[in-house]
Amino acid sequence: MAKVYLSLGSNIEATKYIVAALDFLAVEFTDLQISSVFESVAVGFRGDNFYNLVVAIDTDLSVGELSILLKKIEDTNGRVRSGPKFSGRTLDIDILTYDYFLGIIDGVELPRAEVLINAFVLWPLAEIASEDIHPQAGKNYAELWACYDKSSQQLWPINFEWCGQAISHAV
């Protein structure tokens, strides 16, 4: 079993599509570990704010098999791939880490570069995997978040419910 961290994001009917993604992941994988949900301004383009979170799963799927499954979830939820790279989307699910794999595996960059670049990835990752070590940086996610320039991106936790339970609270 591999420990995998996934980043989920949406800025089109965000609540609807984040809930749909969590529903699908809960069917495919047991014991999801879910971070708080954060709202952030769009990065790289002008657009509606995003909802972002990180989910940990355990899987026997290979990196390639998991990538195909995640694309299927995105496509089922109206993901349009023909637009610009930086644009609004119903659902975006990225593999952040897959155990401690390094490099490009089955076409997926591991660990994903956004872990060290974007607050909307690093903060929720630090929340649920604080002591885990980033395979390249050699520091745990709590240390990386503590050193992150928090003024570089606007981000805040929001109230969010899934399956009748509050999984996230605004501060």
Could you identify the residue written with the tokens 């659902």?
A: 91
Phi-psi group of 74: left, alpha or beta (phi > 0 → left; psi -120 to 50 → alpha; rest → beta): alpha
Structural domains of the chain ordered from first start:
2-168 (3.30.70.560)
Going by C-beta distance under 8 Å and a sequence separation of 6 or more, which residues neighbour residue 23? none
pLDDT tens digits in sequence order for the chain, 171 residues long: 999 999 999 999 999 999 999 999 999 998 999 999 999 988 766 778 999 999 999 999 999 999 999 999 988 877 665 665 655 678 999 999 999 999 999 999 999 999 999 999 999 999 999 999 999 999 999 999 999 999 989 899 999 999 999 999 997
What is the number of alpha carbons within 13 Å of residue 68 lying toward its C-beta?
6
Alpha-carbon dihedral 19, 23, 28, 29, rounded to 10 degrees: 70
| pLDDT number for residue 82 | 66
| pLDDT number for residue 35 | 98
* Cα torsion angle, 170, 28, 89, 96, sign: positive
| pLDDT number for residue 125 | 97
Identity of the residue numbered 132: D
φ/ψ (deg, to 5) at 145: -70, -40
| pLDDT number for residue 61 | 98
| pLDDT number for residue 75 | 84
Identity of the residue numbered 170: A
